Amino acid sequence: MATQYIFSFQNGDGKNKALLGGKGANLCEMTQIGLNVPPGFVISTAACLDYLRDRRLPDGLMEGVKRHIEAIEQTTGKRFGGNSLPLLVSVRSGSAISMPGMMDTILNLGLNRETLQGLIEETGDPRFGYDAYRRFIQLFGKVALGIADEKFDLHFDNVKKQAGIKADVALDADHLKEISDLFLQVVKEETGRPFPEDVYEQLELAIKAVFESWMGRRAVDYRREFRITEKMANGTAANIVTMVFGNMGNDCATGVGFTRNPGTGANEMYGEYLVNAQGEDVVAGIRTPKPVQELTREMPDLYRQLTELRDKLEQHYREVQDFEYTIERGVLYCLQTRSGKMNAAAMVRTSVEMVKEGLISKERALLRINPELLEQLLHPQLDPHNKIPPLAQGLPASPGAACGKCVFDADTAAMMGKAGEKIILLREETKPEDIHGFFAAQGILTSRGGKTSHAAVVARGMGKACVAGAEDIKVDVRSRRALVGDVLIREGDILTIDGGSGLIYLGEIPTVAPTVSSELQTLLSWADSYAELKVYANVDTPEGAKKALAYGATGIGLCRTERMFNAKERLPLVVDMILAEDPDSRAAALEKLLPIQREDFVQLFTAMAPHPVTVRLLDPPMHEFLPSEHQLEDEIQALNKYETMIKGQRVTLETLSGHDVLPAPFNLLSEDVIGKAIAKKQLMLKKVRDLSEVNPMLGHRGVRLGMSYPEIYKMQIRSVLEAAAICAQQGLAIAPEIMVPQVITVEELKRVNKYVAEVRQETESRYGLVLNFKFGTMIETVRACTRAGQLAEVAEFFSFGTNDLTQATFSFSREDAENKFLPLYNEVGLLEDNPFEVLDVKGVGQLMKMTAEFGRRTRPGIKIGICGEQGGHPQSIRFCHHIKLDYVSCSAPRIPIARLAAAHAKLLEHEFSEQS
């Protein structure tokens, strides 16, 4: 049976957007529900794909086109190519997913020297005829013949200049005739052939051009940017539609409308129109359009009809519609409708209001919003009217916008922040010891590192803007300046960064603060009622916990204890602990840290009660708490110079005063004090060199620290359990969980659990109560996945650390991969997504699925979640629901996104099962 490629508007299936494209399907559906749509037909996406494969139109296609043109001729009483009452058509693209402006359209097709005269005779308006002709020649020349617009524009502008005319509408029929003749000459010069007079040749070339535009650069780039896969949309339809004209006089108009305000979501008529114009005039900015409300004055009856059209469209499609219309001599035609593209605030408001109006269900209200869209509502944004060009661009690592004085080190950032200054912390890369600078800064900018680098992870956890890996910025920390090409950035210069786009600006760009609307709160409460996955937060402070609760978190899935060590007043104690040469000295230093960390947990448990708080024991390598080797060498050199200067000063002052001992204040910085400082720096330098590893991410970290230095883990366990006991005595219902990182064998877990048992017995005896808590492990090594059944003998919960698990599975260094080859892999299709952003379900996901099955086989009902970066990504959340995890944990600002994504996962689970 021959393939059917062509469908009239009267019989096309308006639900089959894959075959007819969104535009074609909607034209069919609008026709069939009785709206006034110009007659036409759709050539399907299947024809496009066959054409692109064979490089020719399918056999018999043009014969079918001719039959459908003849049907339009019978309906309209006009003739295609006729010199009396000529039929003109548009040839318009349209894929299954709307891609506005990305593919090609040709208007006024069917004009030639003969039909032009027929059009002039029919309308009695030579100006209108030549205006339509010159538009057609240029558009056809550009789209179908590949002639650059500039070739036509040069002649157009010269005629206007010679006539002393600025506005296109001021050109008369003679001007437009002259322009048309010049355009015909351009076509002949550029192609070597005269402009095609045969209207069916025009139509065939136009259909081919529309099909070709599916693989045009802008369409391909658009699909890549918005992740439109072949399953979502493959090929474009070609819609052949009878032309109706909004530029035949002052009883004609053209416009674009929305059934609701796309900026605010308000339930009101919204749009613009132009009298005596064609549709491209509205969107191309040739003339300033008028607000649609003015139509009540110019054409009141047509405004009433337009309001009825608006109501019918929204009632039928049950979605906010973006529609195009033309008024030809007092008759309203609807040319197109599609789901309106709106910002996040408008999408949320319309979802809630349409449910209250009975227009849609709660399920549809949730599913019509892409969870990622909510990110717009949760971070400061740059003023959309900003016209300042960016200085550079990096990776959009943590969304939001921030502005402040450029500072090159964390200490200065903390000092200036304390003084009330707004700061952008600019570093080559960041380390945990910079954390106090993070707290003080409005945003973080690095010249190295990827979206999952330390700076990015921490910034997202804090909800602060971050741009990472801006490699065009050459940072010189020692001279406290940076270069971008020839532009010098000095400390104190104002920078603005946009963590959503990765753009960096010199100077201040105003930002708009986010607000959480009541509509968003309502929508997310609906999401929670459908979701099975719980949403936890990755936070480390009571302030972060309160923020997470405000966003709707129901627990903390990852509290990184090392972040608590990095506070400026605590870091010296940590350094003393690292420098200790024996367990007793190390224990003495830890004893000073114990009450500090215990109080941290008391506050954290109190803030989150009664929700669970998962505390990860120390994970990063010890050297990360120390300055770098180069920094220490510089500091020792500076101290040596200072010591020499003090000695010289002492000799001079003793000679002048005759005193053996220097008077105050000269004895405050004595040689002894400086000498001790030098000695400590030298000891730190030796320790840094001793701790140096070829690949520290795969080295002495995580549980391996607990094996080498059990006193560190015992102190942390004690601080958690004593905090839990204090809270229990206060009558708080708390749910602490102790999590061991980087485990590869059950023996490691048993040993740490032995520490826990020892501390538990002591704590319960001291406080006179029974502690209730869970003991578990992160799953972030491949061996842990394969040994999950054995680990579950000891662990009461698993939490997937997918950042490290992804790195281990791919054998990628994430920072190097994101800055070197991953973009290429994504661009050429070797990998569909960045696996550090989107969970790799075919690799890492299969390890997770296996781990969950092994764990549940040993311990039915074991609690399993994810706390890696991917835990806040909607696509990853969908997979987590599929393998029946209990929770996902993510940075606080992504909690609303995760809540909505969890609802999507439940509502779409059947679809996901079929795909997988």
CA–CA dist 501, 393 (Å, integer): 8
Residues ≥6 apart with Cβ < 8 Å to 178:
159
Whether residue 781 contacts residue 416, with contact meaning beta carbons closer than 8 Å, is answered with no
Beta strands 863-866 and 797-800, pairing class: parallel
Q: How far apart are CA 207 and CA 47, in angstroms?
A: 10
- Contacts of residue 508, defined as CB under 8 A and 6 or more positions apart, other chains included, come to 403, 494, 496
3-state secondary structure of 676: helix
Q: CA 268 to CA 182: how far, in whole Å? A: 46
Q: Cα 788 vs. chain centroid, distance in angstroms?
A: 34
Write the CA distances from 630 to 9, 311, 434, 562, 626, integer angstroms: 73, 69, 16, 23, 11
Give, as one character, the DSSP assignment of residue 388: P
Token code pair at residue 400: 């939001």
d(Cα 656, Cα 794) in Å, to the nearest integer? Answer: 74
867 catalytically annotated: yes
What is the spatial distance between Cα 38 and Cα 23, in angstroms, rounded to a whole number?
13
| CB 440, CB 456: distance < 8 Å | no
CA 906 – CA 45 distance, rounded (Å)? 32
Q: Could you list the beta-strand ranges (E) of 719-844.
A: 735-740, 774-779, 797-800
For residue 424, list its beta bridge partners: 406, 443
Q: Distance of alpha carbon 833 from its chain centroid, rounded?
A: 13
| Candidates 68, 155, 379, 454; catalytic one | 454
In the sheet where 487-490 sits, what is the strand order? 473-476, 481-484, 487-490
Q: What one-character-per-residue DSSP string does 617-645 give?
A: PP-S-GGGGS--HHHHHHHHHHHHHHHHH
Compute CA 906 distance to the chain's CA centroid, rounded to the nearest angstrom: 22
d(CA 706, CA 716): 10
- Catalytic residue, candidates 867, 881, 890, 904: 867
782: left (phi over 0), alpha (psi -120 to 50) or beta: alpha
SS (H, E, C) 334-374: EEEEEECCCCHHHHHHHHHHHHHCCCCCHHHHHHCCCHHHH
- Alpha-carbon separation of residue 237 from 24, 32, 463 (angstroms): 7, 19, 43
Given a contact cutoff of 8 angstroms between Cβ atoms, the answer to whether 17 and 29 are in contact is no
Which own/partner pairs from 366-372 qualify as long-range (CB within 8 Å, at least 24 positions apart)?
A: 366/523, 366/526, 366/527, 366/530, 366/900, 366/903, 366/904, 366/907, 367/904, 367/907, 367/908, 368/319, 369/344, 369/523, 369/900, 370/874, 371/874, 371/897, 371/898, 371/900, 371/901, 371/904, 372/874, 372/897
For residue 704 the two structure tokens come to 């391996």
Element (H, E) at 826: helix 822-827
8 Å CB contact between 79 and 86: yes
Among candidate residues 608, 535, 458, 609, the one with its CA nearest the CA of residue 865 = 535
| Token pair listed for 765 | 């005896």
CA–CA dist 160, 170 (Å, integer): 9
Residues with Cβ within 8 Å of 75's Cβ and at least 6 positions away in sequence, in order, are: 39
Q: Are 404 and 442 in contact (CB under 8 A)?
A: yes
**Residues with catalytic function:** 454, 867
